[in-house]
Amino acid sequence: MFASDDYGNLARTSFCISNTAKHASYQGKDTSGDNSAFQSEDVLAMGEHHIVVEVVLNPATGNDQRVEEEELPDYRAERFYPVRLGEVFHNRYQIVAKLGFGSSSTTWLARDLIARQYVALKVYVHTSSVHREIPFYHHIASRIADSSHRGRNNTRRLLDSFEVNGPHGKHIILVFEAAQMSLRDMRVVFRRDGFDEDFVKGAIIELLQASDFLHSEREVGHTDIHPGNMLLGIYDNNLLKNLEEKESTSPVPRKPVSSSRTIYLSRFMRPKEGPMLLSDFGEARIGPGPHGGDIMPLEYRAPETLLYVGWSYPVDIWSVGLTAWDLLEPKRLFTARDEDGDLYDAAHFAQLIAALGPPPPKFLAKNPSRKADFWDAQGNWLGLAPIPEGRTMEALETRLEDNSGFLRFIRRALTWMPETRATAKELLQDTWLTGKKA
């Protein structure tokens, strides 16, 4: 849980969950081109959405100045439903503030007029054709209700879903339990050099609890775990009333586009104590697999996805390891880019070799044709990208006086062979998290 009101000094905070080759195409999710929190101090990301902290609209530019979702590279206004503050959806949910936006949806704080609580509405573009979140939540519904697994409380709850007719088509709306900022946002705003070790330990414990619940009880792989999808929940729903009151007394800037469309700026709320909630199941896969296809943010892709072989729950464990690293360390372990900043698979493989050592022959044997793009018949690296010097884990870890426990944990999560990667349940017993001696 986030347990401090001293936002300038997160050293006093902690999550206390349990008291305790350029020719080769690079496929996947490229977050480098979006207006994400990783790229700008002026923009935050709420899960998969962006939150603008401060934008000053220049009266001289009028409607020519792009704001919020208008800044997305592929933005087309007609794809988005023109939500208005005060609008009531489904005869139940009244919009009180904008929380963020993404390429396929906008997110809003709403008052549930029946249950008398605040909720979050995710309003999809009408061109969004694949919705894995609804099938996922249908799949886990019974276990969420009757399970005693701790991880169920670290999985964000879907409360309702429905469709609305917009000017250009139908839009799906998902209603979630309300949450605060993501851990990625908290780091961007409060601790750009990384959180304190105890804070990271607590967050990773809760993330592993959620992952173990999904893997062991519901047979689901998330496939998109990273700090931006770890939201800070809220224990007291009434605290969100502050956002509604601020909108009344100090309305956010807005940009009238037409008589039927207004672009609102998103509201920002300083974090309060709350649980970690794993969110955004839009890329979730049901069943142990093996599955195929592109998954994971580019820098987070597990070795088996780079080699184009089937994957399963261990991809989430790889993501947990990189999440722990990114929450603690100022520099990423893997950037998937060469020294010139070019993004491609060979550069990614080269960084993996620098940090983990060369891949075992059993790994390369999983896909001989893909292997031949980067290694010779004897398993020697072809050099399509240079193996970077100074990118070992030991060299890149700069925060801890004693990093032996942390690096041991990371090495259990980051392995070439998915079969030898620790499970979520096993990592929950790791001495770095439990504090027990090895």
Phi first, then psi, for residue 265 (nearest 5°) are: -80, 150
Q: If you ran DSSP here, which 8-state letter would residue 356 be given?
A: H
Instruction: Select from 1.10.230.10, 1.10.510.10, 1.20.1250.20, 1.10.1060.10 the CATH code of 187-229+275-429.
Output: 1.10.510.10
Binding site residue list for ATP: 122
> 346, 374 in Cβ contact below 8 A?
yes
From the candidates 34, 212, 224, 345, give the one annotated as an active-site residue: 224
Residues 6 or more apart whose CB falls under 8 angstroms from that of 157 comprise 144, 176, 177
pLDDT in tens, 253-284: 999 999 999 999 998 788 888 999 999 998 99
What is the pLDDT at residue 89? 98
- Using an 8 Å Cβ cutoff, are 176 and 31 in contact? no
Contacts for 129 with CB less than 8 Å, ≥ 6 apart: none
Q: Tell me if 172 sits within 8 A of 128, measured CB to CB.
A: yes
Q: What angle do CA 398, 202, 243 make, to 5 degrees?
A: 105
Q: What is the pTM of this model?
A: 0.84
Cβ–Cβ < 8 Å for 53, 42: yes
Per-domain boundaries in the chain: 19-177+236-264, 187-229+275-429
Residue 311 has pLDDT above 80, yes or no: yes
pLDDT at 41: 25
Is 30 a catalytic site residue? no
Determine the 3-state secondary structure of 298 from DSSP: helix
- Structure-token pair, residue 379: 């398993």
Rounded distance, CA 418 to CA 423, Å? 10
Exposure string for 166-196, b = 16+ CB within 10 A, e = fewer:
bebeebbbbbbbbbbbbbbbbbbbbbeebbb
Confidence at 185, pLDDT banded by 50, 70, 90? confident
Tokens of 436: 């027990």
Tokens representing 9 are 């000094």
DSSP state of 218: S
Which residues of 228-347 form beta strands (DSSP E)? 230-232, 254-258, 261-264, 276-278, 285-286
pLDDT band at 305 (very low <50, low <70, confident <90, very high): very high
| Lowest-confidence segment of 38-47, 176-185, 195-204, 208-217 by average pLDDT | 38-47
The CATH number of 19-177+236-264 is 3.30.200.20
Q: Is the pLDDT of residue 23 over 50?
A: no
